[in-house]
Structure 1
Amino acid sequence: MTFLPSEEAVHVRAPGKINLFLHVGDAGADGYHDVATAFQAVSLYEDVFAQPDDRISVSFTGTMDTSLLPTDGSNLAVKAAKLFARTTGVTAGIRLEIEKHVPIAGGMGGGSADAAATLLACDALWGTDLPKDAMLRIAAKLGADVPFALMGGTAIGTGRGDRLSPALGTGRFHWVLAVADFGLSTPAVYRELDVLRAERRRGAPVSTPSVDAAVLQALRAGDPARLAEALDNDLQAAAIRLAPGLADLIDLGEQAGALAGIVSGSGPTVAFLTEDSDSAIALQISLSAARLTALHVHGPVHGARVMLP
């Protein structure tokens, strides 16, 4: 089947993610760390609107301050469009207008969602009709979280987090996100993890990371209480060292009724798992009363997809 280039705007929506589990290996010679993680896509989305243009450009709107986001070639969505064009031999341009709702530098993969949505937008706008495997290969070159933003659902990621396998699961999990009014640099959090480990041990290497079987069992059972016991993130201590208030925030949420709280990815967003929708709403109200930005989301949800008009 041949797809023709579109002359109309394309709308693609991609989800943010929570790391239910994240274990990190030691830094390799290239400075990167192997990880083993369990991703879950949640119902907080980035919306990318794309139109034909004579060059590749990006602009931002949304529910947060986007004024400091780069719009030059360093932006991940711009990188995604340029890489897609090079890979497919397309010489056309694209104008990207991104409506952001996922916290910026918040550990929820908002930039990766933008990149994944951009890849689908380019494919739809330029009529290239790339197969899924080819799209995932391009995504993996852009960053560890980009393939998962394409895939969605719940998945296990290994290597840099870009080698994905779907995780069997049942039911819906309800989360309350406590969104910080600041960001944390992912490289800075990983560096802090290395410092913490150097302080606590004498050269003993960290074993190859793997996802605990308890996480997979809780997902298969659709049991939030069991999943709460299995939540774990090696980066949490490093994020708390850089932003000590996160420890108090986790305590506050758990005292207010959350089954468990965890820093998502490199933070500073804290994700609180709750028993059900009613419990999530009650927790959201409690955190909002404490003058925190709290959002009720659920997962798993689909990955990036083109939205019909």
Structure 2
Amino acid sequence: MGRYPGTENEECSVGLSETARGNDGDAVAVDVGAKINPHLGVGPVRADGLHELTTVYQAVSLYDTVTVRPGKRGAGISLAIEGEGAGDLPTGEDNLAHKAAKLLALYANVEPDVDIHLRKRIPVAGGLAGGSADAAGSLVACKRLWNVDIGREQLDQLAGGLGSDVPFCLYGGTAVGTGHGEKVEPLETQASYHWVVATSHTQISTPECYKEVDRLRENGIGRYSDDIRELCRAYRDRAEPDELAHLLVNDMEAAAVSLRPDLASVMHGGLEEGALTAHVSGSGPTVLFLARDAQHASALARRVKMRGGVRAVLTAQGPVAGPEA
């Protein structure tokens, strides 16, 4: 397993660069990257109560590691969490990684006797899809542990049943998402981009943010940004970071700032420190700053951290591959 440079620096992401079989018996460990949305267009509410989405996903190098081992016969699924969210996140059936293991066991008709360990580095409830990443990692790790013969279409269906971001987290890279985000089409790009990720002391629930999007639109604030042609072209053409910066969109940003006004100060501060652009990540409250390169990202992270008002500041680059890529 390779480790990304700078992993001893608290401003940097810590992660492994590959998916691998563990060294202790039948343990299987996979790394799953966080998700950002360079474009997040939120449409009207559908008949099923979900919002139509047009989004561009990108996986970045903030990793959770999902490790699975055979459990005691008849003991069922056990789950332990280390790192981000330990002691706060559920470890039972409410955890998406737990649900993923149970769902795959039902599909494969195997006993779900498995011990799951989550080493979490992706910020919790930060708009970075950490829970979805864990679900994707659990599906892939358990599939390998149990030697489940499952095609991509079937795996994608199981993933989509767990959450809209889970199918993307399986494969990572850069992709276009439609429907409620669960319909994923890969988007080729050879360029790599560098981000500063500023996490907040507060949280915003995704349902809360969607409700605020609807409320603001009832008052004439915001619209559905469903045109992603220029952004897709920029990715295909290896656009420079300063060009990409002008194409990033998040229809949930106004709602997130309405719910947490302090986010505006964080974004403004990063721009003053030289970020090419600043955006709320997904439903927030994490803020993303685009940098010119790795050196700029590292310097920008230090300056953002010195300004205060954030819980932690990390650096990441993307796209990175998912565990099933």
TM over 0.5: yes
Between the aligned partners of 2:85 and 2:111, the Cα distance in structure 1 is 32
Q: Report the counterpart of residue 304 of structure 1 in structure 2.
A: 323
Q: Report the counterpart of residue 67 of structure 2 in structure 1.
A: 49
Between the aligned partners of 1:221 and 1:294, the Cα distance in structure 2 is 30
What pairs up with 1:173-212 in 2 under 5 angstroms? 173-200=193-220, 210-212=226-228
Shift of 1:132: 2.2
- Say whether the 8 Å CA contact 2:76–2:113 is kept in structure 1: yes
- Whether 1:238 aligns to 2:291 is no
Q: Which amino acid aligns with 1:236?
A: E
Q: Report the counterpart of residue 218 of structure 1 in structure 2.
A: 234
Q: Report the counterpart of residue 8 of structure 2 in structure 1.
A: none
Q: Report the counterpart of residue 80 of structure 2 in structure 1.
A: 59
Q: Which amino acid aligns with 1:149?
A: C
Between the aligned partners of 2:112 and 2:129, the Cα distance in structure 1 is 28
Between the aligned partners of 1:34 and 1:66, the Cα distance in structure 2 is 33
Aligned-partner SS, 2:219: helix
TM-score (norm 2): 0.87
Between the aligned partners of 2:323 and 2:255, the Cα distance in structure 1 is 30
Shift of 1:235: 0.4
- Whether 1:142 aligns to 2:165 is no
Q: Kindly provide the CA deviation profile for residues 56-94 of structure 1, in whole angstroms up to 9, marking residues without a partner as x.
A: 1211001x3421101121111111111111111112311
Q: Point out where structure 1 has 5 or more consecutive residues left out of the alignment.
A: 1-5
- Whether 1:229 aligns to 2:246 is yes
- Whether 1:260 aligns to 2:280 is no
Q: Point out where structure 2 has 5 or more consecutive residues left out of the alignment.
A: 1-23
Q: How many residues align?
A: 296
Instruction: Select which of 149, 168, 174 maps to 1:129.
Output: 149
Shift of 1:181: 1.9
Instruction: Select which of 103, 115, 118 maps to 2:135.
Output: 115
Shift of 1:30: 2.4
Q: Kindly provide the CA deviation profile for residues 207-230 of structure 1, in whole angstroms up to 9, marking residues without a partner as x.
A: 6x6342221122122221111001
Q: Report the counterpart of residue 3 of structure 1 in structure 2.
A: none
Shift of 1:206: 6.1
- Say whether the 8 Å CA contact 2:269–2:307 is kept in structure 1: no
Shift of 1:7: 5.6
- Say whether the 8 Å CA contact 1:77–1:111 is kept in structure 2: yes
Between the aligned partners of 2:319 and 2:219, the Cα distance in structure 1 is 37
Q: Report the counterpart of residue 290 of structure 1 in structure 2.
A: 307
Percent of aligned pairs sharing the same letter: 42
Shift of 1:300: 0.3
- Say whether the 8 Å CA contact 1:106–1:269 is kept in structure 2: yes
Shift of 1:278: 1.3
What pairs up with 1:149-188 in 2 under 5 angstroms? 149-188=169-208
